[in-house]
Chain A
């Protein structure tokens, strides 16, 4: 090592000792200097802490967006609407349940430098396009319901640092669904259908792989398009393999058509139908009609006293039950974000708040044993905060077709 470097190092060490010694004695003396590698958000004394959502709040999948949005709002209510003396401001963009929706929502959010963090998106397809934009702007993003495994797989291009989720990874959900079908329902052959979305495609793949691993046969892995209405041809094709169960982890309305028409195709009258959390919606059983009776859905399952309390707040605020199953995940995501902001924010004497973006990210990634509604959450280095414990299989009955919601849990791993 050269003399010069020794000199530089000793100066740095000395300086930091001096600074450390000075800091506690005169906290208000020096103006705040942002040393964060990806910048800071400065919140003036009378300004609010701005967080945003990117959810699918319109169209066919709006049940997912409304469900998550309610969870976020209740989390903010629980804080009294305030964080460190600043009001919490929630704005949002409609990300839809599609790649282009995610792109436009992501672009708009990334352009607003006052946003501290984002809760969203609902769908994996929207996350794929929104997460590079939002994380690229330095913001941290926590999804309540995007479950595609690629989003937290560091070897995949859809993985972005700064994107986390409280939703379970589909590697869990697909496995549970397959185990349920094989071990609990004792079926030996299955067919799967996806709709080309990253969510459905990966989920049915996991299901098929695990089902084969367990010793079952997959008779067909078919696909339809978003927007299709006539499912009878593809169901007829599936009927040639006479599977005992059809697993179609798709969304509404395609899932409604699939369930309703499956019973009308000869050879599939007695085939068991199973969907996933994409169809876990208050509107689904009514839309599918009698065909939904006896159908299984895998989906988020949350229980406990804290959750009951949450539901009571929901009913008081919105009237009626939450329309889907990810409100608790959205609630947890918001709380993790708010807790992390609280932890890293630096407050000036006049009340100005400074949040370092990298520091915030680090704090969210460092979330450990966080007491959420969906369990004890610990975020791993790739952004998966859920353990996959908050999952169950539900069975739809006449009551749900008549409008009751949510269905009682049927099986838990």
Chain B
């Protein structure tokens, strides 16, 4: 007992106090908000659905971060721009299809074409990025590819700005995705949100099956465990790495279209904030862990949407939505205090040890 006590450092105690007080504030705020009765169940379900839809997009982008980190131990900070490149390029297809009326008559085919263009663009950008910017630095110290990634991110942003200008482009409205469904006056969900959540869910399911059930997935897991041993076992490590970038980029491209359909705007800088948020989500879930990235994305989306009202409204904080980023990052800190490897990160860390 005494030895256990001795092992607890002052810093741990301090962090627990910080964590405990955040939890305290959150609890007091939540109870006060719920007791105020200002928000009905309908409102809460709305907040939750907004959060899940936004979180699904975060999760799809976060998977790209986590996959690359799992294989290369590197944070690909240009991933947000991979997301942007797909959504931005697909805008031109979506716009043309919408103006010709094709998107209205054949929404399924039209949307598939938009998705295909977006994913193909993102994949191309990511593969070039890997070949030009990251592969030559594979044996370099860790900081080098990180800085390169930041440079690549700027390069992509300003290349797209050079191509398409600095203005905003508005995505067309897809008639079939307009409107919403209401169940019993309690739950109301927009069609576009259904598409976002379902598409994200299916893609994540496909990815999980691919990684867990196929030979290629097994090779990916092997490379992630130990590159050199995997190479000795006859796995083409370079091919697996490219494959990882392709998968991550395809998910980001799909996320880009979903995001653009939901918010109907694209811009050369649009990848920055979702990229940062998705990175946060990946860390929240435990970076390198695939289900962790999904969970982290959903958590972050829900915290951003529900958090400001639930935690702060009851405390009488004015204009709580200005603090939504602060809440999201406070939650990140909170989770990292109690679980330094993220929500699902421990399994991976233990497996590595």
Contacts and interface: CB of A to CB of B under 8 A. Distances in A.
B168 A289 contact: no
Contacts of B225: none
B263 A223 contact: no
A62 B350 CA distance: 52
Interface stretch (A231-239, A271-279, A335-343): A231-239
Contacts of B263: 229-230, 257
Nearest to A63: B167
Interface residues of A, number: 34
A222 B321 CA distance: 7
15 contacts: A59-B166, A59-B269, A60-B166, A60-B167, A60-B168, A60-B267, A224-B321, A224-B322, A230-B304, A230-B305, A233-B308, A253-B168, A287-B170, A287-B264, A289-B264
Contact of B309 (A227, A233, A265, A286): A233
B39 A240 contact: yes
A148 B308 CA distance: 28
A372 to B, nearest CB: 30
Contacts of B190: 264
B173 A225 contact: no
Contacts of A257: 263, 265
Contacts of B319: 221-223
Nearest to A289: B173
Nearest to B185: A266
Interface stretch (B42-50, B81-89, B114-122): B42-50
Given A225-B322, A233-B50, A289-B170, 9 more contacts: A228-B324, A229-B273, A230-B54, A233-B305, A236-B47, A236-B50, A237-B313, A237-B321, A257-B265
B46 A236 contact: yes
Interface of B: 38-39, 42-43, 46-47, 50-51, 54, 166-168, 170, 173, 180, 188, 190, 263-265, 267, 269, 273, 304-306, 308-309, 313, 318-322, 324-325
A92 interface: no
Contacts of B322: 196, 223-225
In the A-B complex, the 5 residue pairs with the closest CB atoms? A223-B319, A223-B322, A234-B321, A287-B170, A233-B305
Contacts of A264: 180, 190
Interface string A262-296: 00111000000000000000010011011000000
A256 to B, nearest CB: 6
Contacts of A228: 321, 324
A130 interface: no
A260 B264 contact: yes
A266 B188 contact: yes
Interface string A286-328: 1101100000000000000000000000000000000000000
Nearest to B307: A233
B194 to A, nearest CB: 13
A290 B318 CA distance: 31
A42 interface: no
A252 B321 contact: no
A266 B167 contact: no
Contacts of B188: 266
Nearest to A234: B321
A240 B304 contact: no
A287 B168 CA distance: 8
A58 interface: yes
Contacts of A290: 173
A287 B166 CA distance: 14
Contact of A221 (B50, B173, B304, B318): B318
Contacts of A232: 46, 50, 305
Contact of B167 (A196, A230, A283): A283
A269 to B, nearest CB: 11
Contacts of A266: 42, 46, 188
A228 B264 CA distance: 13
A283 B265 contact: no
A286 B265 contact: no
A230 B168 contact: no
B177 to A, nearest CB: 11
Contacts of A224: 321-322
Nearest to B173: A289
Interface in A162-211: 196
Given A60-B267, A260-B264, A233 B318 contact: no
Contact of B273 (A227, A237, A239): A227
Contacts of A256: 168, 170, 265
B243 to A, nearest CB: 31
